[in-house]
Amino acid sequence: YPANDHRICFIGDSMTQGTSDPTCLGWPGRVSAAAWAKGYALTAHNLGIRGDTSQGVAARWQAESAVRLQAECHKYLVFSFGANDMTPQGDGLRVAVVQSVALFTRIVSEAQALYPTVVLGPFPVGEAAQDARILDLCPLYAEHAQALGVPYLPVARLLLDSALWRADVAASDGCHPGAAGYQRVADQVLAWPAWWFNTSTTS
């Protein structure tokens, strides 16, 4: 198959989908465009769903990625989820922490057995109590990713510490950023040593 045929699935929630970005690129569109600029012929599939939890991702990622990665090509998976798990529901959360971590471990373990896989941790959502739970969840995810040998980028703390991110979310819908915030995430991914498309294909 063509050596420069690269296909990637971004699987996650509204922060993967790029909700509230007036350019409709989100961070996946931006890092994909950067890959093209480096010489990679990349087909990018955004499989983000607003409101999706680890349960939702676990139920769909294999079928959704398999139909998009059927061709003979270089194949990659990027996951980012968990924030919606920490949304209050009834007397608890949409997905309990123990179950969320178990689902994360299962998803990432199965994914990396199939394709090169990386994970961005759950994003902050602009609500203080939920963001605190997300910050607590992040190192649990990170620990299991490390045990599996899967690169993990802990974005929640990076973004909560970013004045640009907080201002962009405040100027948007209070939960999601606009173009500037998604660019901030893209910059983090592009500076990540684990990212596959950091070097030029001609270098």
pLDDT per position in the chain (203 positions), as tens? Answer: 678 999 999 999 999 999 999 999 999 999 999 999 999 999 999 999 999 999 999 999 999 999 999 999 999 999 999 999 999 999 999 999 999 999 999 999 999 999 999 999 999 999 999 999 999 999 999 999 999 999 999 999 999 999 999 999 999 999 999 999 999 999 999 999 999 999 887 65
Q: Residue 201 has what pLDDT?
A: 79
Q: Residue 202 has what pLDDT?
A: 65
What are the structure tokens assigned to 100, written together? Answer: 């969320």
> Minimal CA–CA distance to 138: which of 177, 64, 69, 82?
82
CA angle 34, 35, 37 (to 5 degrees): 65
Burial 55-73 (b: 16+ CB within 10 A, else e): bbbbeebeebbeebbeeeb
CA 15 – CA 49 distance, rounded (Å): 9
Q: Which domains does the chain have, with CATH numbers?
A: 5-190 (3.40.50.1110)
Q: What percent of the chain has pLDDT over 90?
A: 96
